[in-house]
């Protein structure tokens, strides 16, 4: 049997996985992972990295299908700005660059599709 135990620690979460039939060979296996969440939201380079990792890995452990790169819909665990948070100029510039990059990719895909349609008429 596969058992996942989650415990609250002083600075985060401890996840323990016990499998009493590892590799279908009847062997026991135990894995313990500590997720340090104490200052996870204050990391300026990668805020909430450990929190996102914990949630993503928990979904994998539980066998929850989040979708894949070839699926029409994908459930993502990601961080974004809060609805009432006021972005500063640098944050707005970064967000604008990300949007512009996304638009560029979409335009290139549309161009490829148009060329493909012309060739197949």
pLDDT of 121 over the 80 cut:
no
The more confidently predicted of residues 14 and 25 is 14
Q: Supply the pTM of this predicted model.
A: 0.74
Q: Which tens digits make up the pLDDT trace of 26-37?
A: 888 899 999 999
Sheet holding 12-22, edge to edge: 2-9, 12-22, 27-36
Two structure tokens written together for 97: 């660059």
pLDDT of 21 over the 90 cut: no
State mean pLDDT over 102-117.
95
- Kindly list the domain boundaries of the chain, sorted by start residue: 1-79, 84-121
2: confidence class by pLDDT, cuts 50, 70, 90: confident
pLDDT of residue 1: 81
Give residues with Cβ within 8 angstroms of 44, minimum separation 6. none
Cβ neighbours of residue 5 closer than 8 Å, sequence gap 6 or more: 15, 16, 17, 18
Summarize pLDDT for 64-108 with one digit per residue, the tens: 999 999 999 999 888 888 899 999 999 999 999 999 999 999 999
Nearest 5°: CA angle at 92, between 89 and 95? Answer: 155
The beta-strand segments (E) located in 23-117 are: 27-36
Backbone conformation region of residue 95, classed left if phi is above 0, alpha if psi is from -120 to 50, else beta? alpha
12 sits in which H/E element: strand 12-22
* CA separation, residue 115 to residues 50, 105, 110, 111, 120 (Å): 43, 16, 9, 6, 9
Contact 22, 30 (CB under 8 A): no
């Amino acid at each position: 049997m596969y058992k996942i135990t989650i415990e609250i620690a002083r600075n985060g979460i401890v996840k323990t996985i016990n499998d009493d039939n590892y590799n279908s060979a009847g062997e026991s296996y135990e894995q313990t992972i500590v997720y340090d969440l104490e200052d996870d939201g204050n990391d300026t380079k990668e805020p909430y990295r450990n929190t996102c990792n914990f949630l993503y890995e928990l979904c994998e452990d539980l066998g929850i299908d989040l979708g894949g790169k070839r699926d029409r819909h994908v459930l993502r665990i990601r961080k974004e700005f809060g609805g009432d948070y006021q972005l500063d100029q640098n944050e707005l510039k970064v967000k604008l660059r990300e949007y512009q990059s996304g638009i560029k990719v979409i335009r290139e895909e549309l161009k490829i599709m148009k060329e493909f349609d012309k060739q197949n008429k």
